[in-house]
Structure 1
């Protein structure tokens, strides 16, 4: 089972987003039979079988094993991934917004376009990496910061921009022939009110250390077209 599958195909997205099939996928984190699922979700076995066949034909569930009851053989199915995400690309041109078209770089629309591009690109790269039996080297930082005032927020944004620009200038080498190009996305948005502020305070140090360990564990051979972004 994959940790996460980014769905790019519109037909697969439509299947996964169907309410009944979404419920069945959620129940298939562990292998189960159609009969067991029918009891859990309160549907007939025939209806569950119909939806399971549709999910299986689109690669969203797979056979995990079989067991026999008397003269009958019962198939056990499991979801193909622990989590699914639908790429904006599944909406075609309506969902493939280009961040470069955004006039306001401080707008929510620009941030959403950047996030959508990250989902599309990382999802595609992860699929290529799996086909080549390779791991995709990535780096992610996640933390929270609570500002005393709008002035502090503006000062933080200015200092962060200068720090990132300095690091990019230090490490970027556009002339090297066999280097690897990476996108760096830095974003900030308010924490949703229902989530509330973190009780434990920011943990960016631990997050960054874990990310460094993950990146260091990845070999860095010559560029692999299966896991590299187009240049």
Structure 2
């Protein structure tokens, strides 16, 4: 089982978003049968089996083993990943494009950049999995508390200057055998997990 799988097929994305199938995917982090799942989700076994076949058709669950019980063969299924990410590729016609309105201070532009990141890394993961190779990536995730808006602005300027200096130092335009890499750096207000207040805004997040 993969830690994270990327869904690029629009039909698979639609299938995965069904509430019942989402619940089944969550339950199938551990192998289970239609009978076992029916008791957990409160649905008839036949209905659960129908949803499992649909998920299997799109590669979201897989057969682990078959167990014979009397005259019945029980199929033990498992999700193909512990979690799933739907790539913007699945909505390519309406996927955000950061080049339309680049604005470093726009929350929506940040979202477009993040969407592009999911799309690109998703494609890299898919390609690397087929080639049985690893993807060379690096990420930093952390938090910083600013005493004031002025400090936040100063941090953003210094961060931008530092990144520009690093890019200038290591960028080798004509390097034979070199490979281009994308650098994405983002700063946004933290959200308190589990607070239930997903719509809260701050002075730094009221971009429209």
| Secondary structure of residue in 2 paired with 1:101 | coil
The 5 Å alignment of 1:158-169 reads 158-169=157-168
Residue 88 of structure 1 deviates from its aligned partner by 1.8
Q: Equivalents in 2 of 1:133, 1:193: separation in Å?
A: 38
TM-score after normalising by structure 2: 0.90
Q: Partner of 1:75 in structure 2?
A: 75
Closer/same/farther in 2, CA of residues 131 and 103 from structure 1, 3 Å limit: closer
Contact kept? 1:29, 1:82, Cα under 8 Å:
yes
In structure 2, list runs of 5 or more residues that go unmatched.
Answer: 196-208
Count of aligned pairs between the two proteins: 195
Q: Partner of 1:20 in structure 2?
A: 20
In structure 1, list runs of 5 or more residues that go unmatched.
Answer: 197-231
Q: Deviations over 1:51-95 (max 9, x none)?
A: 01100011110001122212322110000111101112212221x
Q: Partner of 1:218 in structure 2?
A: none
Q: Partner of 1:222 in structure 2?
A: none
Q: Partner of 1:102 in structure 2?
A: 101
Q: Equivalents in 2 of 1:137, 1:23: separation in Å?
A: 33
Tell me the C-alpha RMSD between the 2 structures: 1.3
| Secondary structure of residue in 2 paired with 1:124 | helix
Residue 142 of structure 1 deviates from its aligned partner by 0.5
Q: Equivalents in 1 of 2:193, 2:136: separation in Å?
A: 33
TM-score after normalising by structure 1: 0.82
Q: Does 1:115 align with 2:114?
A: yes
